[in-house]
Structure formats: C-alpha cells, structure tokens
C-alpha cells in the first residue's frame, strides 16, 4: 500500500503524518491488518529494536475519588466493588514495588486516587520514593497523583521522582462529556508543570468509549504537541457499576489499528500498551509487541492482569527481549535533549521528537490544545467518551461482561501476594 510505505518513510524520519493519513490507518480493513502491523513494526524497530520495557503499578490509595470521570472504577458514585483503602505506608509501597522489580520491571508507577495531592501528600510520596529507591537500585519511579499545584512537580523531582503521568484521555472537544469536575485545560497544565520541573512527562489516552476516529486522531495529535516521552494507550475496561459498563466498542483488530496509528504519529516515543490489553486484545496480544515498546507487568490499579510470568513468556515467544536497567529506553536524540532540558529546568522543545530535526507538529493542534489528565495507565481503563457513530464490529455491545473484567483482590492493600 502506498499509504503504508509513506508512513514508514515518515516514521523513520520522525516526520508527522497528515491527519488524513492517520485516519486512513484506522479505516484499513481486517484483510490489511497484518500489513499495517508490519509497517508500524518497522518504525518501532528503528527506534527501539526488539526491546520491551516493563512497568509496574502500585496503587498507593484506592477508591473514594471525588472526581466524576465516567470511565473510572474509583470515581465519585462508582458502584464497582473494587478495593478501597487509604495511603499505603512507604514500607508497604516499597514491598509492593519490589515484587514488580523482581519480575523485571524497570519503572515503578505510584498512583493515588483523588483530584490532586496536598502538600502533605507530596511529602508522603517523597518518602515512598526514597524507600523504593533505597531498596531497588536503578529503578525509575513515576508518580501519578492527579492535578498538580504550583511547586509540587519540583518537590517531586527533588524527592527523586523520574517521571510524572497525567493522561489527556480523549479529545478536547469531547472531554466535557466524560468529566465535569475538572477541565481538559487542567490536565494540560499539569503535564506542562511536569515538563517544566524536569520530570519526564508521561501522557496518553483511553480508547473504546464510543469515540470516533476523528476523536482518536485529535487526542494523539494533541499528545504529540505536548511532547511526552511516553504515551500509554489504555483500552476502556467497562467496570460494572460505572456509567460506561456497557461500552464494548473494541475488537482486537481495531485495538491493533489504534496502536499502529499512535506509533506512526509518535514514532520515537515510548508507546506503552496499558490497561485493558488482556480484555480487548486477548489472544492477539503478541502482535501488539510489534507496535509498542512498553507494557505493564501483572495487575493494574483496580483490575487484574494476566500472570506476570505469562507476560514474560509472551515477550520471549514473540521474539522480543525485556529491556535491562542499564539500557536507555529512548533513542539518543530524545534522551540527550531530555537531559539538556532537565539541566536547564525548562520544558524540552519540539513536538514528538524533542525538537530533533523533525517538523514542528505540521498540521497538529495548536499549542495548548494538548492536555493531560490523571490516572495515566492507572485505573486500567480510563478513556474519553464521544457522541460518535458506533465503531463497526462492536463486541457484545449493550451488555456487562463480568467474565472479561476481573477486579483486583491481591497485591497492594491486601495480605495476598501481588501478581508480578
């Protein structure tokens, strides 16, 4: 296909595709799927080889959130029967993190429900970061605590945090349909605060809430404009007891096309396959490794993933290798510029390639149209919802699928060993 040849060439040059090209990827047929995966795989291998970075989630504080995000099992008014507990002690969080590191995780993601941290919460998380790094030499720590106030990103950086996650989740045009208690602009502001403090910015999306192809392209182009180092792609986990419990709009084939589109738009960025991969990709998960270079190991915030050993076996069987602690995840042109930006305590420049020679966003959204929102890859199913035409080939639309959604009952906040 001329489209795929063009996208591969652009990806190898770190050049932004046109919106029409991105939309065309989502519109390809199932007959063309393997061609799409192979093309995006060439771009993935150019910048990340056959390495897979493992990340591990620790839910520091679960449930009882005052925000009303429709996709989230921890939301205000949620009837999902998830674990609910207040802040883990630093030693408890460190013990939970150690299980993931022992399983091969290179990064530990510390997540807490809520609108955003108080200054006391930031101090608490700082002590947790110190405890984790003391016990696990070389581990990266990413915090995901919601909306940040002035100065909090700098304090997290000083406490040893390496990164901050706050997802955009969905397009700016449809954001108000999924959340009323904060705005899209609030999310963008938090990502920009993290950038400015020298933290590696992590910001992504949630697919599968009934959004249109245009919505998906909008949010990915906005993310490219924000220039995060990592982009987690979540697929909605429709928890029973949440407003989107009956939103089953994804097939494995559509999920793969979405991942391919993200890779073409963000060729040299850590694209992470996050919450919902087991639910929606199912037996086709190994194909996704040709598109993404990062996954979560084991369980998510409130839902259970497949066994950690099964993740490791899948990576090996597909011909990939777990990325070691001594290996830089990002290509040199991004990691070098990120280090320079950190030294200057200023945001890194440049839209998707850290300013490294690629066009600045081309026809992407204007600056400020890219905003990141909480929970990152956290809830294991955060996403945006749009008044859109239904996605073709809907899977069991209109019904709750409790057989595919398993609520987490082990690990952090319990006395049962974690899955890692």
Catalytic positions are 65, 69, 72, 109, 142, 202, 272
Collect all residues with Cβ–Cβ distance below 8 Å to 370 and sequence separation of at least 6.
Answer: 168, 188, 191, 221, 222, 223, 224, 225, 226
Dihedral sign for Cα atoms in the order 160, 57, 84, 114: positive
26-44 burial, b at 16+ Cβ within 10 Å, e below that, comes to bebeeebbeebbebbbbbb
CA distance 169 to 210: 13
Q: Which 3 state secondary structure label does DSSP give 199? A: coil
Q: Comparing C-alpha atoms, which of 296, 263, 301 is closest to residue 277?
A: 296
Collect all residues with Cβ–Cβ distance below 8 Å to 205 and sequence separation of at least 6.
Answer: 167, 168, 169, 170, 216, 219, 220, 223, 231, 232, 233, 234, 383, 384
Residue 357: exposed, middle, or buried by beta-carbon count in 10 A (0-12, 13-18, 19+)?
A: exposed
CA distance 378 to 31: 33
Look at the block and give the residue holding tokens 């009303």: 68
CA distance 86 to 220: 33
Dihedral sign for Cα atoms in the order 198, 199, 200, 204: negative
Residue 114: exposed, middle, or buried by beta-carbon count in 10 A (0-12, 13-18, 19+)?
A: middle
Q: Which 3 state secondary structure label does DSSP give 142? A: strand
Cα distances (angstroms) measured from residue 416 to each of 36, 64, 309, 398: 41, 22, 17, 34
CA distance 303 to 309: 17
Cα distances (angstroms) measured from residue 356 to each of 6, 118, 361: 20, 37, 12
């Amino acid at each position: 296909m001329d489209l795929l040849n063009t996208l591969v060439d652009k990806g190898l040059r770190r050049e932004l595709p046109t919106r029409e090209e991105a939309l065309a990827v989502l519109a390809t047929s199932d007959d063309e799927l393997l061609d799409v995966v192979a093309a995006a795989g060439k771009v993935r291998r150019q910048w990340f080889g056959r390495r897979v970075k493992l990340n591990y989630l620790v839910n520091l504080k679960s449930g009882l959130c005052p925000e009303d995000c429709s996709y989230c099992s921890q939301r205000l008014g949620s009837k999902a029967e998830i674990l609910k507990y207040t802040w883990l002690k630093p030693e408890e969080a460190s013990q939970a993190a150690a299980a993931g590191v022992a399983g091969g995780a290179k990064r530990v993601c510390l997540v807490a429900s809520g609108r955003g941290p108080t200054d006391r919460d930031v101090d608490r998380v700082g002590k947790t970061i110190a405890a984790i790094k003391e016990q696990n030499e070389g581990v990266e720590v990413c915090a995901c605590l919601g909306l940040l106030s002035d100065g909090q990103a700098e304090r997290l950086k000083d406490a040893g945090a390496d990164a901050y996650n706050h997802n955009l989740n969905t397009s700016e045009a449809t954001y108000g349909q999924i959340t009323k208690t904060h705005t899209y602009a609030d999310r963008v502001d938090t990502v920009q605060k993290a950038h400015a403090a020298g933290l590696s910015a992590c910001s992504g999306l949630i697919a599968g809430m009934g959004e249109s192809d245009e919505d998906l392209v909008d949010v990915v182009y906005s993310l490219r404009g924000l220039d995060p180092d990592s982009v987690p792609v979540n697929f909605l986990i429709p928890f029973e007891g949440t407003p989107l419990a009956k939103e089953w709009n994804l097939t494995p084939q559509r999920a793969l096309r979405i991942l391919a589109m993200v890779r073409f738009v963000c060729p040299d960025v850590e694209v992470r396959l996050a919450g919902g991969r087991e639910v929606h990709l199912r037996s086709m998960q190994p194909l996704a490794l040709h598109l993404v270079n990062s996954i979560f190991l084991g369980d998510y915030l409130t839902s259970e993933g497949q066994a950690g050993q099964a993740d490791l076996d899948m990576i090996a069987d597909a011909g990939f290798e777990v990325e070691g602690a001594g290996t830089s995840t990002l290509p040199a042109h991004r990691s070098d510029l990120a280090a320079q930006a950190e030294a200057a305590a200023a945001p890194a420049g440049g839209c998707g390639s850290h300013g490294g020679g690629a066009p600045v966003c081309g026809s992407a959204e204007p600056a400020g149209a890219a905003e990141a929102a909480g929970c990152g890859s956290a809830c294991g199913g955060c996403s945006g919802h749009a008044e859109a035409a239904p996605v073709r080939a809907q899977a069991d639309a209109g019904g709750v699928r409790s057989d595919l959604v398993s609520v987490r009952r082990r690990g952090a906040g319990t006395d049962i060993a974690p899955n890692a």
